[in-house]
Amino acid sequence: MKISDKQLQVQEVHKTYGKGQSETVALKGIAFDVLPGEFLGIMGASGSGKTTLLNCIATMLKPTSGQILLDGQNISSFRGSQLAKYRGSKIGYLFQEFELLDNLSARENIVLPLSIHGENPKKQEAQLQKLAKQFDIEEVLNKFPSQLSGGQKQRVAAARALISNPSIVLADEPTGALDTKNAKILMEKLSSINHTDGATILMVTHDANAASFCSRILFIQDGVIFHELRKKVPGETQNSFYERILTVMAQLGGGSSNVL
Ligand SMILES: Nc1ncnc2c1ncn2[C@@H]1O[C@H](COP(=O)(O)OP(=O)(O)OP(=O)(O)O)[C@@H](O)[C@H]1O
């Protein structure tokens, strides 16, 4: 495989918080690659290092050692305007709590990343219409966040994450604040965009249902990869994958709960 075939390369990343007695080693040499068009899930017990890993990839945190490469570029070396460009155009973010701006309409929230980078308004409109259709939010584009349901807010946030056509979407517990029905709708939409547009998605989740939409799952324990599951191709059903996820979660958590 050529290096360029790998969209994201996480190479022996260590992350330590604090010093001396308050030192916490959150990541202990984590390494994996993500291919273009993969839908990768990251699972693991609370405190295992999932958010730390996501924040290192997002450049919100700097690894203590190791390297992270996106599209072959070492993102840890980025500074100033290069870093701002990376955050604004190469990465789409989707958080548990939506993080929409209250005083902007859904439409304005979605195009915000493009507006900041001075994209042509015609291009903005075409991208916006396409995503609004894909996420079934065409009817609510002129509403403000306070006028939207939780499910609608998260689909608006998902459209915003994809508007700049990023190399990778980083999602941290995107279904965490949604009820079962809205979580399923969001995952179906993300999965469909992953299949039709080849969007690469990396998603941290505790939810086995959400994880069953992924093509591969890394299970993290104490800052290292403990296990990997891959959906069988062709044709493993989502239900069969879900059952396999629950089995690993039971081994990890030592119980039958589907929440780690
Ligand atoms: N800013 C920080 N300062 C010190 N320690 C931290 C900090 N952030 C996280 N940690 C520690 O690093 C470890 C990994 O935390 P992290 O938030 O990455 O875990 P997580 O798997 O995302 O957990 P959760 O599922 O509960 O969100 C934990 O032991 C945590 O207490």
What's the fold here for domain 37-48+80-216+228-253? Rossmann fold (3.40.50)
- pLDDT, one tens digit per residue, over 104-155 is 999 999 998 887 777 777 778 888 999 999 999 999 999 999 999 999 999 9
Q: Which of 48, 221, 260 to mutate to test the pocket of ligand 1 (most atoms within 8 A of CB)?
A: 48
Q: 197-223: string of b/e by CB count within 10 Å (b at 16+)?
A: eebbbbbbbbbbbbbbbbbebbbbeeb
pLDDT for 259 = 39
Domain ranges in the chain are: 37-48+80-216+228-253
SS3 at position 32: strand
Distance 59 CA to ligand 1 centre (A): 16
- The interface predicted TM-score (ipTM) is 0.97
pLDDT for 15 = 97
User: What single string gives the DSSP state of each residue in 49-100?
Assistant: SHHHHHHHHTTSS--SEEEEEETTEEGGG--HHHHHHIIIIIEEEEETT---
pLDDT in tens, the chain (260 residues): 554 589 999 999 999 999 888 999 999 999 999 999 999 999 999 999 999 999 999 998 999 999 999 999 998 888 888 888 888 788 999 988 878 999 999 999 999 888 777 777 777 888 899 999 999 999 999 999 999 999 999 999 999 999 988 889 999 999 998 899 999 999 999 999 998 888 899 999 999 999 999 999 999 999 999 999 999 887 889 999 999 999 999 887 754 333 34
**Is 50's C-beta closer than 6 angstroms to any atom of ligand 1?**
yes
Q: How many CB atoms lie within 10 A of CB 120?
A: 9
**Is 197's C-beta closer than 6 angstroms to any atom of ligand 1?**
no
Distance 26 CA to ligand 1 centre (A): 7
pLDDT for 81 = 83
Residue whose token pair is 């999965």:
191
Distance 57 CA to ligand 1 centre (A): 15
pLDDT for 258 = 39
**Is 60's C-beta closer than 6 angstroms to any atom of ligand 1?**
no
Q: How far apart are CA 179 and CA 150, in angstroms?
A: 9
Rg of the chain on CA atoms, in Å: 18
pLDDT for 4 = 55
Choose among 14, 6, 28: nearest CA to 168: 6
